Structure formats: C-alpha cells, structure tokens
Amino acid sequence: MTYRAGVVGAAGFAGIELVRILARHPEFELVAATSDALAGTRIAQVYPAFTGVTDLAFSTHEGTDFGSCDVVFLAVPHKAAMGMAPDLLAAGATVVDLSADFRLKDPAVYEQWYAPHTAPDLLARAAFGLPELTGDELAAAAERRAAGEAVLVGCAGCYPTATSLAAAPAIRAGLVDAAAPVVADAVSGVTGAGKKATERTHFCFANENVEAYGVGTHRHTPEIEQILGLEGRLVFTPHLAPLNRGLLSTVTLPLAPGVKAPTTEELVALYRDFYEMSPLVSVMDAGVQPRTASVAGTCRAQVGVAAHPAGVIVATGAIDNLGKGAAGQGVQCANIVFGLPETCGLEEIANPV
Ligand SMILES: NC(=O)C1=CN([C@@H]2O[C@H](COP(=O)(O)OP(=O)(O)OC[C@H]3O[C@@H](n4cnc5c(N)ncnc54)[C@H](OP(=O)(O)O)[C@@H]3O)[C@@H](O)[C@H]2O)C=CC1
Ligand SMILES: CC(=O)N[C@@H](CCC(=O)OP(=O)(O)O)C(=O)O
C-alpha cells in the first residue's frame, strides 16, 4: 500500500530535503508540497536538482487539500507548526512535525523558551521522534494509528539528536555522575539556520569562521535535558561552522563516584550493544572518530566514545542536520508509525570522498 504524503514548508531547507527523500520513497507518494512565497512554481524551477525527477509545483498552504493525505510533514518554523497541526489531525492526517512545537512535554517549559503554547493538549499526545531513544513512544503511536487514530510526532531537533545519541548509552548505563554538569559542545553547518540569510549566516560572515553562539541560552538546552534526564545540569554551547550540511556534538560526561573507570574498548562494546537494533546509528571502532562528511546527505548517525584519563567519558555524535537532524528523522518516524521498516527510503550512504 502506498501512503499519500504532503509537506508544508517544502521550499525551506528541511522541507526540500523531505521532498528529496519522498521523491524516491517506495511507500510514501508525495502529493503536495507547499510554499506560500513560491506557489504555482514547479519545484524543479526553484531547485534544479529535481529536473527530470518531479513535475510537482508548490501550492499555497491555504489552497492545499490535505484531507486526502495519510501523513503531513510540517517543515515550518516553530510557533507556526502549532497553529497548523490541530486542523490537520482533525482532518485525519498523521502529522510529523520537524519544528520544536511538540517536543517539550511541559507547556510551561515551552512557554519559558518559546512562547505560550496554543495547543497544549497536544503536547501529551505527541510521540517524541528520536527512534533510537524513544522507540516506545513511537511504537505506541504506531498502534494507535493502526487502530485508526491520526497521530502526532514531534521530531527531535538537530543538536538534541546528535548530543543525545552520543550521551544516552553512558547515562542510561549509570556511568555518569548524576550531580555534576554535563558539557556538550556542538558544531553545526549553516543550513541548520534555515534558508533566510541573516548577518550571522551571510556567506561573508560565516565562511572562513567558526564561532560560538547562544552560550547558556540556546533553546535546545531544555530539550536535551528532557531526553537525557539532566535537569539543569547541561552546559550546551553550539557553534556555527562554514559547512553546508553537518553537525558534530562532543559531550564530556563525568564518571559517577564509585564507578570503576571503563576502558575505551569496554565503552565501545557497551555502545554497540545499546545500538544493536538501530540500523541508522553506527558506533565507531575504538580510536576512530565520527565525521560529518561520512553522514552528509544521509539519515545516518555516527557515534564515537572514549575513556579519558581525567575521569570522564568523551562521546561524539555526527549527523547531517537536514538528514538525521530533520527530514530523514521525520521520515524514519513516519516509517515506524506506518508499520514500515524504519530504514525504508533512507538507505543512502554518504559520498566517501
Ligand atoms: N534546518 C535544519 O537543519 C533543521 C530544521 N528543523 C526545523 O524544521 C523547520 C524548517 O526549518 P528550515 O527548513 O531550516 O527553515 P526555512 O526557513 O529554510 O524554511 C521554512 C519554510 O516554512 C515556510 N513557512 C510556512 N509558514 C511560515 C511562517 N509562519 N513563518 C515563516 N515561514 C513559514 C517558509 O515560507 P514559504 O511557505 O513562503 O516558502 C519556508 O519555506 C523549522 O521548524 C526548523 O526548526 C529541524 C531540525 C534541523
Ligand atoms: C545553525 C543554527 O542556527 N541552528 C539552529 C538550530 C537548528 C534548528 O533548526 O533547530 P530545531 O532543530 O529546533 O528545529 C539554531 O541554533 O537555532
């Protein structure tokens, strides 16, 4: 059976990556791609990579009938998505949101970091979309969808995905001090900031430059703390790097008091065991570090882990911010919710050189 899929915000960076994945997906058929600014224009005219691939044109959000869609992906900014999801769910579509609007479980926390939530009742209903770490929520959503319910998935953000994949196995194994700060330093490519250039992301300022931003104030802090159970202990510092695509997060995890210091080989074995059932996450051999270039253009994640003689674990996670960090993860979640193999349409491997 083929499911009908729509993308809202399809002309943005995450949205057009959804179009790229869905154009080749064997079970989802892309039937609608909205862009208010570019409505009426063929996708291939705006993004020539689609020449000869699809004749679909962008439509307006208001003018698109999503009633016939089985699934709608929202690739619009946070605060816009929460205004769109209720009507789509009421029309019977399953909604996979890439924005931050349905990630935080507590509406008060959402309000503290974003704005008052306009659909707080949906926060409890939304499954958190990071399959390797919240598979139970997605499995429950898949059961509800199979029973006829339109379900809602709030996909994890890009920094939270790389950071949590790197840190979760050590934390969940009880190796990490539950009273000490956890430090995550992360580097993102410029597509992470979306299509609209700002002074920070303008080529002349972003090229040949790396800088930290949002120090101590970045909105992904509560999301990462929620996933990892860190409750006010995360020191998260994002950096912008002159890459188109790619995100690397390096997490420094202090060992819990009384825990025998593991070797790097023991940590690699622990991590491999943790991700044994996760086909899109690869744990690097001891001494080998994840690379953003090795996952660019894919929905894969690479995770590295090492024991440090200072009594900490250093774990790193590399993803493509548009792939595993956004569109790829959205499709992976949709695959699970629709009972498909989670890698369906996501088998791409990176360009090796
Ligand atoms: N870029 C990334 O690496 C990641 C992005 N995300 C999330 O995905 C979503 C899309 O991000 P991204 O593709 O980078 O963003 P872009 O700015 O590149 O694209 C956003 C798109 O949404 C459309 N849109 C619809 N409604 C609104 C609105 N009310 N205000 C502004 N734009 C609107 C835009 O305009 P129009 O309809 O006129 O074309 C545009 O095409 C965001 O929520 C983002 O946080 C998540 C993880 C990573
Ligand atoms: C480089 C850059 O600016 N990145 C964005 C985060 C990427 C993103 O889109 O955030 P979500 O994952 O929450 O949707 C930022 O720091 O706000």
Nearest ligand 1 atom, CA 194? 14
- Give the residue from 310, 239, 324, 221 showing the smallest Cα distance to 279: 324
The number of the ligand nearest the C-alpha atom of 211 reads: 2
Do residues 150 and 252 both lie within one domain? no
Does ligand 2 lie within 6 Å of residue 243's CB atom? no
Q: Is residue 344 part of a domain?
A: no
Do residues 143 and 253 both lie within one domain? no
Does ligand 1 lie within 6 Å of residue 155's CB atom? no
Does ligand 2 lie within 6 Å of residue 100's CB atom? yes
Do residues 199 and 289 both lie within one domain? yes
- CA 295 from centre of chain: 14
Do residues 311 and 171 both lie within one domain? yes
Which residue has the CA at smallest separation from atom 1 of ligand 1? 192
Do residues 147 and 165 both lie within one domain? no
Q: What are phi and psi of 334, to 5 degrees?
A: -65, -40
Task: Give the HSE-up count for residue 254: Cα atoms under 13 Å, Cβ half-sphere.
Answer: 14
Q: Is residue 242 part of a domain?
A: yes
Q: What is the model's pLDDT at position 71?
A: 98
Do residues 55 and 149 both lie within one domain? yes
- Give the residue from 121, 122, 67, 73 showing the smallest Cα distance to 97: 73
Do residues 166 and 306 both lie within one domain? yes
Q: Is residue 111 part of a domain?
A: yes
The number of the ligand nearest the C-alpha atom of 322 reads: 1
Q: How far apart are CA 353 and CA 342, in angstroms?
A: 27
Q: Is residue 346 part of a domain?
A: no
Q: Is residue 31 part of a domain?
A: yes
Confirm whether 155 is a catalytic residue: no
Question: Which position among 158, 204, 333, 344 bears the catalytic label?
Answer: 158
Cα 309 to ligand 2 centre (Å): 33
Which residue has the CA at smallest separation from atom 7 of ligand 2? 192
Do residues 148 and 198 both lie within one domain? no
Q: Is residue 11 part of a domain?
A: yes
Does ligand 2 lie within 6 Å of residue 74's CB atom? no
- Give the residue from 146, 147, 148, 99 showing the smallest Cα distance to 122: 99
Q: What is the model's pLDDT at position 108?
A: 97
Check residue 171 and report its DSSP letter: H
Does ligand 2 lie within 6 Å of residue 99's CB atom? yes
Q: Is residue 151 part of a domain?
A: yes
CA dihedral sign of residues 7, 12, 133, 108: negative
Q: What is the model's pLDDT at position 197?
A: 85
Q: How far apart are CA 258 and CA 270, in angstroms?
A: 19
Q: Is residue 116 part of a domain?
A: yes
Nearest ligand 1 atom, CA 10? 41
Tens place of pLDDT per residue across the chain (353 aa):
799 999 999 999 999 999 999 999 999 999 999 999 999 999 999 999 999 999 999 999 999 999 899 999 999 999 999 999 999 999 999 999 999 999 999 999 999 999 999 999 999 999 999 999 998 999 999 999 999 999 999 999 999 999 999 999 999 999 999 999 999 999 999 999 999 989 999 999 999 999 999 999 999 999 999 999 999 999 999 999 999 999 999 999 999 999 999 999 999 999 999 999 999 999 999 999 999 999 999 999 999 999 999 999 999 999 999 999 999 999 999 999 999 999 999 999 999 99
Do residues 308 and 162 both lie within one domain? yes
Do residues 163 and 311 both lie within one domain? yes
Does ligand 1 lie within 6 Å of residue 325's CB atom? yes
Q: What is the model's pLDDT at position 88?
A: 97
Q: Which domain holds residue 126?
A: 3-155+324-337
Structure tokens at 248: 């690397």
- Give the residue from 53, 92, 93, 91 showing the smallest Cα distance to 71: 93
How many domains does the chain fold into?
2
CATH number, domain containing residue 172:
3.30.360.10
pTM: 0.98
Do residues 135 and 244 both lie within one domain? no
CATH number, domain containing residue 66:
3.40.50.720
Cβ atoms of 160 and 220 closer than 8 Å: yes
Cα 246 to ligand 2 centre (Å): 12
Q: What is the model's pLDDT at position 1?
A: 78
